[in-house]
Structure 1
Amino acid sequence: MEFSEHIKTANVEDVVLRVGFRAPRSGALCVTGHHLLFSDREEDSTWQLLLLIRNIDAIEKRPSGSSGSIVIKCKDLRVLQLDIPGMEECLNIASSIEALSSIENVTEMYPFFHRPRGLRLGDPWGLSSTEQEYTHTERLWDRWRLSRVNQDFSVCPSYPSAVIVPSSVDDEVLVKAARFRQGGRFPVLCYCHHRNGMVIMRSSQPLTGANKKRCCEDELLLQMAIDQSELGYIVDTRSSQHAQHARLSGGGFESKSCYRPWRRLHRHMERGKVLQESLIKLVEACGDSSHNMDRWLSKLENSKWLSHVHSALSTAGLVAECVERDGHSVLVHGSEGTDTTLLVTSLAQIILDPDCRTFRGFLRLLEREWVQAGHPFQQRCARSAYSHARLKYECPSFLLLMDCVWQISRQFPLALEFSEALLLRLGQEAYASDYGTFLCNSEQERHIFHVKENTHCLLWFLMQCSERENYINPLYEHTQLAIWPSVQPQSLQLWTGLFLRWTEHTQVMDEAREEIRTLVNELKRDEKMKSNDEATHHLLTHRDALTVLENEMDELTIL
């Protein structure tokens, strides 16, 4: 079907746009196959709003006499209102938006049409591959090998074509072990500690069922992952009760008697519908205009969002502690192994690995642990917090990761090379993007729809883009040490940069951060001229100003 068939009214004049605390603007509205374009018609104004229709989560129609208004609620939590003259035009625009925002055919989505200046189809798609990771990690070569058992995606549809497994285990064993794990997600390596060689692996749950079935190949695979004298930990992101209940539907967990070198630890983390409803409640609380403190605090607590942040960080800390402090390897899984599992393994690597805390290293981490490892972005990010549709597969797992990384960056402001702006950009792109990186639910689907041949890669763009400096933390200082975020209740805060992003408070914070960036850049220039007395004076002045500004930002955050 052509996009034009969905568009009942393409252009409307004298539309009034209302966005948050900003003054209303009058102009023309244009509807295209993928965007809403609003152009200010005032003299000497070139201001435009270009909104990707896939970013629209829900709309509300409000009739008013012979005209009407449309309230547009976006997946990035922005809320817009369009006052449209003429009821027929208003209903037509609303109908067009509803039809265009619910297109599910991957090849009709905007990344297949987006052609950014400076990029060409055929440019490198992504920053790394499993083959490259293995080649560049020499400490793996003695005990681990690269397997292409999944080259045609027949063993595990959600895994990449190449995986890293123990070298003493052949591909036939992997095939049989995959049949014993949900979705074929057999244990594979995702991280090897740079100091002690201990590893973090991930998988899905074993299919033991009510009859406590065994799989010798799966047991062998895990046994070969560690030395006979070693002890390994299986961190199950379900409670013991949930894991027991999973056996009734064919799932289960590793028994102590069959996996002798391994010890099982349960750390319950919510997922799916529970996590999605938590996001909905939090966004509703942030949008409450009653200005009642008791009501706000009650709604914030009832959303339980910060409890999910706490669970994710504490479980990741446990995994990191097993590897770094206790010197043991870890296998992480929940049920499917595509949500909480990836959340925990990613955060654990950020805690342990200084390379994952660099700009490029963080993007590579997301690529291998989320994009290549089979997080179903298209299902999980189909709807956000405003949608009226019945929940199906939606779950803000990736958004929760961004929040947890922000919490780490707030506690360790010098440790991460990237800034909050990058986290906000990635969180938004997962739900609605010009690029193909987060399209589909797996590498297999991207292969079927030829995503890499016909779209551009967001991660490659971020590495090359002219505004990359905006995503860099100007205070970054490299350290080889692990960082251990606090999970005490008073240490975790609401991510105002995301959940209050479109308020006046956040605009003030953005201005303060830009001022810090300017001051730091001036400091760096001045430090190159230390021999000059005048430069030294400027240096001290700028440092004093920077300290004052940071204190003001802390006060703003408290307010």
Structure 2
Amino acid sequence: MELSEHIKTATVEKVLLTRPLEPPATGTLCVTGHHLLFSGSDGRGPVQLQLLLRNVDGVEKSVENLLEHSGLRSRSGPTHRACESSGSLIVKCKDLRVLQLDIPGMEECLNIGNSIEALSSLDELTALYPFYYRPSFLSLQDPWGLSSPERDFRDIEALTDSWRLTHVNKDFAACPSYPPALIVPRCVDDETLVKAARFRQGGRFPVLCYYHRSKGTVIMRSSQPLQGANRKRCREDELLLQAVIDGSPMGYIIDTRSAPLAQQARVTGGGFESKANYSPWRRLHRHLDRGKVLQDSLTKLVEACSDQSHGVDRWLGRLEASRWLSHVQNALAAAGLLAECVEREGRSALVHGSEGTDATLLLTTVAQLILDPRCRSLPGFLRLLEREWLQAGHPFRQRCARSAHSHARPRQEAPVFLLLLDCVWQVQRQFPLAMAFGETLLLRLAQEAYASDFGTFLCNSERERCALGVKEKTHCLFRFLLRPSERDKYANPLYQPTDLAIWPSVHPQCLQLWHGLFFQWTRNNRYLEEAEEEIRCLVAQSRKRSCRQSMSQVGGDTSRTPSTVADC
């Protein structure tokens, strides 16, 4: 079906737009295949709105004179009544914004609402806007992405010869959610890897995701072993894990399920590594909620943040009932435990839950942020996300199909990536000088994951991206964010690099609700944005003064002038 077939009414005049933080505006509303466009005035000046329809999470319709329009004639006749009819649309967005559109004409209102609903929930990925987005300043010939297993392996190869790059998954036969190239122990051959993949859910056998440069320990990730009720074993899987800690007396397995849930998984064919067959490994259970529990938590939190009618006590009660901050606390605590195993205990670790595509990636990402200063730079953080979420197979298409406002929600939906960004924000808040990027980047990523002009977050895996030609037919968000004109927007002006690990506190008094995200459409948060911009200006002025002082000290020494200017 063509996109235009979903549009029954394309343009409506005299529409009243009500939006957060701004006065109402009157103008023309237009629906296209990918956008909702508004052009008008709010009495102070012109108003332009361009809303990507993929950003719409739900639409509520309210119309007047519905009965008359349906055929119950009045004295004035149906034609006159239809002209007087009107309707309102409440458009709830995935970025938590809520817009109201008052549309003259009941039929026009219903048509616009139906068009928005249909175009915002298209199933065909190639019909989405990233496949049509062609800005003049970007080219499809530009390189895609920042990271690759080959590049990561070159960094490790310079430090040790204990690992190798395998292409056992080059046709995605071993594991459909892994990339074609993977880093594994050098002493384990491809035949062993194939057999180990059959023993892990979804074929996600243990692969390396982080190498500790000074200690030589590693973080691996995988899915659960398919042990089942009969407690099957796989010697190839045991051999693979033994090779990971060769020469070390012990390693840790961080299971993101509780011990009872891991036991229950045996009923459906899953399970965990038994002590008898994996004797060098010590298993630790750190339960992290996922799926519907996590989604319901986000919904309750957003509903509480949207309700301005209750007092402080009721607000705090609803915040606690949502349990969102509990999820943040549990995730940070488990990631801190993982980092301690590697940094302070000097042991290698394997992380998995059941599928290994959600909580597992959350832990490995936050742990690397804690341990590795390279992941705290802007390009380093984006490479970390690309490696641990895109290449590692987080199903963005399923998890981010809907957000907090939707009433029709697929079972696979869950805000795991949003939880990760919240955890990063908590670390950023506790260590304001340690990150080269600021909150603005995290807010941008939260928005792009749910609705984007770029193809970065479109699919569930590398296999899907290859099948759809995403890297050839769409633009890369991460490359765009590193353009000189963009990266300054996301830089932390207070950044001071450190080579030390940073250890965030998980005590309740040290965790805060992310106001920049959950209250971003309120007046209070606007003041925070203005304060942040003022800090940027003060830091920029300070650097200019330092530059002028350096130049004056150089004086007439022309041999030092070029380098001084370059530094400034």
State the TM-score, normalizing by the size of structure 2. 0.92
Paired residue for 1:307? 326
- Deviation of 1:292 after TM superposition, in Å, equals 1.4
Give the whole-Å Cα distance in 2 for the aligned partners of 1:511 and 1:64: 41
Paired residue for 1:347? 366
Give the whole-Å Cα distance in 1 for the aligned partners of 2:371 and 2:318: 35
Paired residue for 1:201? 220
1:182 touches 1:205 (CA, 8 Å); kept in 2? yes
Matches within 5 A, 1:38-49: 38-41=38-41, 45-49=45-49
Give the whole-Å Cα distance in 1 for the aligned partners of 2:318 and 2:139: 47
CA displacement 1:45-100 (0-9 Å, x = unmatched) = 44311000000000100124510100000000000000101101000000100111
Aligned-pair RMSD on alpha carbons?
1.4
Paired residue for 2:487? 468
Match of 1:229 among 248, 270, 286: 248
Paired residue for 1:121? 140
| Aligned residue type for 1:74 | C
Runs of 4+ in 1 over 2 A off after TM superposition: 41-47, 136-141, 528-533
| Aligned residue type for 2:183 | I
Alignment CA distance shift 1:69-1:109 (3 Å):
same
| Aligned residue type for 1:59 | V
Paired residue for 1:5? 5
Matches within 5 A, 1:253-402: 253-402=272-421
Larger deviation, residues 176-185 vs 391-400: 391-400
Give the whole-Å Cα distance in 1 for the aligned partners of 2:224 and 2:360: 10
Give the whole-Å Cα distance in 1 for the aligned partners of 2:147 and 2:314: 47
Indicate the SS of the match to 1:136.
helix
Give the whole-Å Cα distance in 1 for the aligned partners of 2:239 and 2:465: 32
CA displacement 1:346-384 (0-9 Å, x = unmatched) = 000000000000000000000000001000000000000
Alignment CA distance shift 1:119-1:465 (3 Å):
farther
CA displacement 1:251-293 (0-9 Å, x = unmatched) = 0000011011110000010001100000000000101121311
Give the whole-Å Cα distance in 2 for the aligned partners of 1:69 and 1:229: 67
Aligned length: 534
Give the whole-Å Cα distance in 1 for the aligned partners of 2:290 and 2:378: 28
- Deviation of 1:139 after TM superposition, in Å, equals 4.8
Paired residue for 2:34? 34
Indicate the SS of the match to 1:528.
helix
Paired residue for 2:561? none
Alignment CA distance shift 1:206-1:140 (3 Å):
farther
CA displacement 1:390-418 (0-9 Å, x = unmatched) = 44100000000000000000000000000
2:459 touches 2:465 (CA, 8 Å); kept in 1? yes
Give the whole-Å Cα distance in 1 for the aligned partners of 2:94 and 2:219: 33
Indicate the SS of the match to 1:60.
strand
Paired residue for 1:56? 56
Alignment CA distance shift 1:19-1:44 (3 Å):
closer
- Deviation of 1:528 after TM superposition, in Å, equals 2.3
| Aligned residue type for 2:63 | P
| Aligned residue type for 2:498 | T
1:437 touches 1:456 (CA, 8 Å); kept in 2? yes
Give the whole-Å Cα distance in 2 for the aligned partners of 1:42 and 1:307: 42
| Aligned residue type for 1:150 | N
| Aligned residue type for 1:118 | F
Give the whole-Å Cα distance in 2 for the aligned partners of 1:529 and 1:458: 36
Indicate the SS of the match to 2:360.
helix
Question: Are positions 1:246 and 2:265 aligned together?
Answer: yes
Give the whole-Å Cα distance in 2 for the aligned partners of 1:289 and 1:348: 37
Question: Are positions 1:103 and 2:122 aligned together?
Answer: yes
Indicate the SS of the match to 2:537.
helix
Matches within 5 A, 1:119-158: 119-139=138-158, 141-158=160-177
Indicate the SS of the match to 2:379.
helix
User: Which consecutive residues of structure 2, in runs of 5 or more, have no partner in the other structure?
Assistant: 66-84, 553-568
Question: Are positions 1:217 and 2:236 aligned together?
Answer: yes
2:62 touches 2:89 (CA, 8 Å); kept in 1? yes
| Aligned residue type for 2:117 | E
Indicate the SS of the match to 2:482.
helix
Percent identical among aligned pairs is 66
Indicate the SS of the match to 2:116.
helix
Give the whole-Å Cα distance in 1 for the aligned partners of 2:480 and 2:189: 38
CA displacement 1:126-159 (0-9 Å, x = unmatched) = 0111001111233554100000000000100000
Larger deviation, residues 23-32 vs 519-528: 519-528
- Deviation of 1:532 after TM superposition, in Å, equals 9.6
Give the whole-Å Cα distance in 2 for the aligned partners of 1:29 and 1:153: 46
Paired residue for 1:411? 430
- Deviation of 1:213 after TM superposition, in Å, equals 0.3
Give the whole-Å Cα distance in 2 for the aligned partners of 1:21 and 1:43: 15
Paired residue for 1:484? 503
Indicate the SS of the match to 2:287.
coil
1:267 touches 1:315 (CA, 8 Å); kept in 2? yes
Give the whole-Å Cα distance in 2 for the aligned partners of 1:324 and 1:288: 44
Give the whole-Å Cα distance in 2 for the aligned partners of 1:424 and 1:531: 37
Indicate the SS of the match to 1:529.
helix
Alignment CA distance shift 1:37-1:465 (3 Å):
farther
Alignment CA distance shift 1:90-1:353 (3 Å):
same
User: Which consecutive residues of structure 1, in runs of 5 or more, have no partner in the other structure?
Assistant: 534-559
Give the whole-Å Cα distance in 2 for the aligned partners of 1:467 and 1:366: 18
